[in-house]
Amino acid sequence: MSSPRKLTPQEEARLAQVRKNFEERRRVTQSLEGIGTRIGVYSGKGGVGKTTVATNLAVTLAAQNKDVALFDCDIDCPNVTRVLRITEGPVQNGEKLSPPTRFGVKVMSMAFFQENEDEAIVWRGPMIHNAINQFLQSTEWGNPDYMIVDLPPGTSDAPLTVMQTLNLDGFIIVTTPHELAVLDAKRSINMIKKMNLNVFGVVENLSGGVFGTGGGQALAEEMNLPFLGATNMSSDYTNSRKPAALESDAVAAEYASISNELARQISENT
């Protein structure tokens, strides 16, 4: 019997990479195994209020006595910590990081590791992939009922990396009523469908005023998706102390309705 063929350096390098990728996936899976439902909050266009929806939904669920984690995966422009007015970073606990809690929500964000809040993070795809993997492997999430994930906008490498790494249970698509935001939201929905992942529904943000109304609901109907609800354009969001859902009865009612419809869709789809 002949001895096994010796691998070439190129083959050995590819095999080492396969082993590394497998080990990374194993560690990520272990880190996330205690989490209930993983929900991506996503949009095809930046500036439609994705982070606003993610943070207000998270604090609404926490106010309903749910255990909630909020993972800010918008590596380029992490804004969750600004919305929540959280300044203390994670605490080192052995090999793990314990995320800080604000308004009942555990928070992890790239912003904790920036020296200056206004500095630009200019990274290519592999660096984003490594950063997200590192966050997931090193964070002690506990056993939250929900993990809300604030994704990067668009349909390119950054959101794709998050989707492939986190194995999300489903997505909330955020759009304004404006036709261009709706068009880009449709593109993001088509991207999710190509990956055979769930869309829990559509939220129309900044409804009313100059943007009009109805774009989000029309999109949901066209794409045969649930419409989770609308949040009106309001000066309540200018409050700098707390997320608007904790300060305004009107905003709280909007997010309570969205969270109830979301819970119904999760029950039907997972």
Q: Is the predicted pLDDT of residue 203 greater than 90, yes or no?
A: yes
pLDDT for the residue numbered 125:
61
The answer to whether 74 and 150 are in contact (CB under 8 A) is yes
pLDDT for the residue numbered 119:
67
Q: Is the predicted pLDDT of residue 200 greater than 90, yes or no?
A: yes
Mean pLDDT over 246-262 rounds to 96
First-residue to last-residue Cα distance in the chain = 52
pLDDT for the residue numbered 53:
97
Predicted confidence (pLDDT) per residue in 109-148, tens digit = 888 877 666 666 666 666 777 777 777 778 888 899 999 9
44/76 Cα distance (integer angstroms): 15
Mean pLDDT over 156-176 rounds to 85
Q: Is the predicted pLDDT of residue 19 greater than 80, yes or no?
A: no
Q: Which residue has the higher pLDDT, 33 or 169?
A: 169
Q: Which class for 62: exposed (0-12), middle (13-18), buried (19 or more C-beta within 10 A)?
A: buried
pLDDT for the residue numbered 175:
96
Q: What is the pTM of this model?
A: 0.88
Instruction: Work out the percent of the chain whose per-residue pLDDT is above 90.
Output: 51
pLDDT for the residue numbered 30:
73
98/264 Cα distance (integer angstroms): 31
Q: Is the predicted pLDDT of residue 168 greater than 80, yes or no?
A: yes
| Structural Rg of the chain based on CA atoms | 20
The answer to whether 187 and 155 are in contact (CB under 8 A) is yes
158/208 Cα distance (integer angstroms): 31
Three-state secondary structure call for residue 42: strand
**Candidate CATH numbers 3.40.50.720, 3.40.50.300, 3.40.710.10, 2.30.38.10; the one for domain 36-269:** 3.40.50.300
Neighbours of 265 (CB within 10 A): 18
pLDDT for the residue numbered 266:
94
Locate the domains of the chain by residue range: 36-269
51/71 Cα distance (integer angstroms): 11
Neighbours of 223 (CB within 10 A): 15
pLDDT for the residue numbered 95:
80
Which two three-digit tokens encode residue 155?
Answer: 């349909």
Neighbours of 235 (CB within 10 A): 8
Q: Measuring CA to CA, which residue among 146, 149, 148 is closest to residue 66? A: 146
The answer to whether 71 and 232 are in contact (CB under 8 A) is no
Query: In sequence order, what are the residues at sequence separation of 6 or more whose Cβ sits closer than 8 angstroms to the Cβ of residue 109?
Result: 71, 72, 78, 80, 81
144/169 Cα distance (integer angstroms): 14
